[in-house]
């Protein structure tokens, strides 16, 4: 019987690692058996436009100190490109056994880190470590506490999600000069993040029409080589397909996919069909020349202005050939009537749909000499957009916009969006076509997020076609908190009963309401952290010891209390949960806590 299984990595801002074993273990030593492992990466921070570094290694460590390398190939990763999804990275054989920690090798020697200020201006940042020194290679160790070790054994699947938390890992010291202090903070979970979309990328192997399953050879990100293993996933009647630039639904798409040659480029988006399941269900499948591959360059970004067939993309990311993504301050996208446009959920699309505020992915050819991207004979895929603003009129709905796709509104030029200049879109009175959506409860001066598409270029007065409207309740809303004490503090937080009580007078703080870019400028500030979650991701980082991971909040604060009683000081905290303004509390399911040894405190205060 085959004694090997698979290792799968998923990248977004976090990394998810799944492990499963197979084979009969009744008469074999663990060292002879193999198991499966999968890894994913995810996170989301508004301050970073690009965060590209080299991932050199991922090692699993047993209690006896033995190490197993599970990274098939060193890879450049721009973590910002994975803010909203995770990527299945590999499915490889891993020796059976219990692994108690994970070590990531990160190379910052050629890092490309671009940050933005509150006005949306971008800066290519220099980096330093906590002591002001240059950074090259860094090893980050995650210790899996509370019996949360990775057990790889026959017929059993284990999962591990690794998250490079950008807020906890980086401090923007200044914009002029642009400088970021880096101290990587990796956290983890022994489960797949079911709230995040996952991506599979590689080459088609086979399609089984009877079972609605697809087999593929994984080749993640923009890589072209390496042994990353095979993966099987499911589709159903709701799965959408795009093959060679043409969109299909259901059986028609699957049947056409079955006719494609083995080795056809393939991308699938989806995730586990139910919590805890290993069955992967795809909601969308791309194939053929709909997939960026070696002969095509890729442009990702948001349209900030347009004049006829010349389109401006600010804060663009360009991938050329098989190279890693790189940031471009501004790129001009050229389109013609021959450009294929897909991805529009409201019907067929053309280049007229490429209006100001639209998020796109374009395939074509990039000219680095003049920063022009030619998609005149290429393909542009429209992405769903999110706009945020304050209601100035409830019906018909109008917003005073603050952000489009997390970019400040001052970056956008709406000239030409209307039938004439008098009808160009106005960000102060941005008109929403709410269609059949219920807007009866919306009132003036409320803040909200609307998801959908800008109206066709040159067709206003209606400025935006809404697919969904989120009307946040600021009195109780999902939020993410960040606090940095300028000097590590012995009084910055205290543990009382089952709460973390905060003292933030000497800290730089930010509370960001989920889905509301710029909300950190509002006057919300938690005074305590509580947790009603049965399980969460709670982590403590101590210099020289690595990261200690907990899933139980009481165990986490118990360990934190012990460290604080032994003289350690709090330097940084990030937390995610439900903020209730009347209680000034954040009900958390995620916390990172950076503590310093006494000698670190003295060095930082010098």
Q: Which pair of structure tokens corresponds to residue 70? A: 């599970």
The whole-number pLDDT of residue 85 equals 73
Q: In the structure, what pLDDT confidence band is assigned to residue 274 with cuts at 50, 70 and 90?
A: low
pLDDT score of 554 more than 80: yes
What is the pLDDT averaged over residues 575-601?
86
Topology classification of domain 197-290? OB fold (Dihydrolipoamide Acetyltransferase, E2P) (2.40.50)
Q: Which pair of structure tokens corresponds to residue 419? A: 């039938």
What is the pLDDT averaged over residues 113-124?
88
- 24 vs 141, more confident: 141
Q: What is the 3-state secondary structure (H, E, C) of 115-161?
A: EECCCCCEEECEEECCCCCCCCEEEEEEEECCCCCEEEEECEEEEEE
pLDDT score of 424 more than 90: yes
User: Do the Cβ atoms of 457 and 441 come closer than 8 Å?
Assistant: no
Tens-place pLDDT, residues 182-237? 999 887 776 667 777 888 999 999 999 999 999 999 888 777 777 788 889 999 99
Other residues' Cβ atoms within 10 Å of the Cβ of residue 523? 6
Tens-place pLDDT, residues 346-376? 999 999 999 999 999 999 999 999 999 999 9
CA distance 10 to 43: 12
What does the CA dihedral 384, 390, 395, 397 come to, rounded to 10 degrees? -20
Query: Taking the CA atoms of the chain, what radius of gyration do you get in angstroms?
Result: 24
Distances (CA, A) of 270 to 193, 195, 206, 211: 12, 11, 19, 18
The whole-number pLDDT of residue 600 equals 52
Tens-place pLDDT, residues 390-402? 999 999 999 999 9
CA distance 459 to 453: 13
The whole-number pLDDT of residue 212 equals 96
The whole-number pLDDT of residue 151 equals 78
Tens-place pLDDT, residues 507-543? 888 888 887 766 655 667 789 999 999 888 899 998 7
Tens-place pLDDT, residues 1-13? 333 344 444 433 3
Query: Domain segments of the chain: what residues?
Result: 34-189, 197-290, 297-379, 385-470, 476-596
Q: In the structure, what pLDDT confidence band is assigned to residue 456 with cuts at 50, 70 and 90?
A: very high
Range in 137-146, 425-434, 481-490 with the lowest mean pLDDT: 137-146
The whole-number pLDDT of residue 6 equals 40
DSSP symbols for 227-285: ---EEEEE--TT-EEEETTEEEEHHHHHHHHHTSPTT-EEEEEEEESSTT---EEEEEE
Residue with tokens 């909601």: 283
CB pairs under 8 A, 24+ apart, for 433-440? 433/462, 433/464, 433/465, 433/466, 434/396, 434/397, 434/466, 434/469, 435/465, 435/466, 437/466, 437/468, 437/469, 439/394, 439/395, 439/397, 439/469
The whole-number pLDDT of residue 244 equals 94
Residue with tokens 């506490």: 145
Choices 3.40.50, 1.25.40, 2.40.50, 1.10.10: CATH for 297-379 = 2.40.50
The whole-number pLDDT of residue 465 equals 96
User: Do the Cβ atoms of 467 and 452 come closer than 8 Å?
Assistant: yes
CA distance 164 to 11: 10
Residue 392 φ then ψ, to 5°? -105, -20
Q: Which pair of structure tokens corresponds to residue 385? A: 């957009």
Q: Which pair of structure tokens corresponds to residue 164? A: 């490079």
The whole-number pLDDT of residue 513 equals 82
What is the pLDDT averaged over residues 411-422?
94
- 274 vs 599, more confident: 274
User: Do the Cβ atoms of 529 and 521 come closer than 8 Å?
Assistant: no
């Amino acid at each position: 019987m085959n004694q090997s299984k698979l290792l799968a990595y998923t990248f977004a801002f976090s990394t998810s690692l799944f492990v499963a074993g197979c084979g009969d273990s009744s008469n074999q030593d663990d060292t002879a058996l193999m198991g499966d492992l999968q890894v994913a990466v995810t996170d989301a921070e508004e301050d970073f436009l690009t965060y590209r570094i080299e991932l050199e290694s991922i090692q699993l460590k047993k209690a006896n100190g033995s190490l197993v390398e599970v990274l098939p190939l060193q890879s450049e990763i721009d973590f910002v490109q994975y803010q909203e999804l995770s990527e299945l990275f590999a499915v490889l054989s891993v020796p059976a056994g219990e692994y108690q920690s994970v070590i990531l090798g990160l190379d910052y020697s050629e890092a490309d880190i671009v940050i933005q200020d509150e006005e949306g201006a971008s800066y290519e940042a220099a980096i330093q470590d906590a002591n002001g020194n240059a950074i090259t290679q860094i090893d980050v160790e995650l210790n899996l506490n509370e019996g949360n070790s990775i057990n790889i054994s026959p017929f059993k699947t284990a999962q591990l999600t690794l998250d490079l938390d950008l807020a906890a890992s980086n401090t923007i010291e200044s914009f002029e000069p642009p400088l970021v202090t880096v101290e990587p903070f990796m956290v983890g979970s022994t489960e797949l993040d079911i709230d995040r979309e996952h991506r599979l990328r590689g080459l088609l192997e086979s399609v089984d029409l009877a079972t609605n399953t697809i087999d593929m050879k994984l080749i993640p990100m923009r890589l072209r080589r390496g042994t990353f293993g095979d993966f099987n996933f499911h589709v159903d009647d709701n799965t959408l397909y795009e093959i060679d630039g043409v969109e299909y639904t259901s059986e028609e798409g699957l049947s056409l996919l079955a006719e494609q040659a083995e080795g056809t480029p393939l991308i699938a988006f989806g995730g586990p069909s139910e919590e805890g399941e290993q069955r992967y269900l795809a909601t969308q499948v791309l194939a053929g020349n709909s997939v960026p591959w070696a002969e095509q360059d890729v442009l990702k970004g948001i349209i900030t202005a347009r004049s006829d067939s010349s389109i401006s993309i600010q804060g663009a990311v360009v991938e050329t050939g098989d190279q890693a993504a790189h940031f471009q301050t501004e790129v001009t996208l050229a389109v013609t009537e021959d450009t294929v446009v897909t991805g529009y959920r409201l019907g067929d699309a053309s280049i007229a749909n490429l209006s100001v505020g639209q998020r796109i992915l374009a395939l074509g050819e990039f000219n680095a000499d003049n920063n022009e991207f030619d998609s005149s004979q290429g393909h542009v895929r429209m992405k769903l957009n999110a706009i945020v603003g304050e209601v100035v009129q409830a019906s018909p709905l109008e917003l005073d916009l603050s952000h489009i796709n997390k970019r400040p509104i001052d970056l956008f030029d709406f000239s030409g969006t209307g039938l004439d200049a008098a009808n160009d879109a106005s960000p102060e009175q941005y008109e929403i076509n709410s269609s059949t959506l219920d807007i009866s409860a919306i009132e003036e001066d409320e803040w909200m997020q609307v998801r959908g598409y800008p109206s066709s270029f040159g067709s206003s007065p209606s400025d935006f076609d809404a697919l969904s409207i989120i009307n946040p309740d600021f009195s109780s809303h999902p939020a993410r908190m960040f606090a940095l004490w300028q000097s590590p503090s012995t009084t910055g937080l205290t543990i009382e009963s089952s709460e973390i009580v905060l003292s933030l007078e000497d800290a730089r703080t930010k509370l960001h309401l989920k889905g509301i870019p710029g909300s950190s400028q509002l006057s919300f500030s938690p005074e305590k952290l509580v947790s009603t979650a049965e399980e969460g991701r709670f982590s403590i980082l101590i210099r020289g010891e690595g990261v200690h991971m907990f899933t139980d909040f009481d165990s986490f604060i118990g360990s934190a209390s012990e460290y604080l009683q032994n003289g350690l000081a709090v330097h940084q905290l990030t937390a995610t949960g439900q903020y209730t303004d009347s209680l000034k509390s954040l009900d958390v399911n995620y916390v990172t806590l950076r503590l310093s040894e006494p000698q670190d405190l003295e060095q930082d205060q010098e």
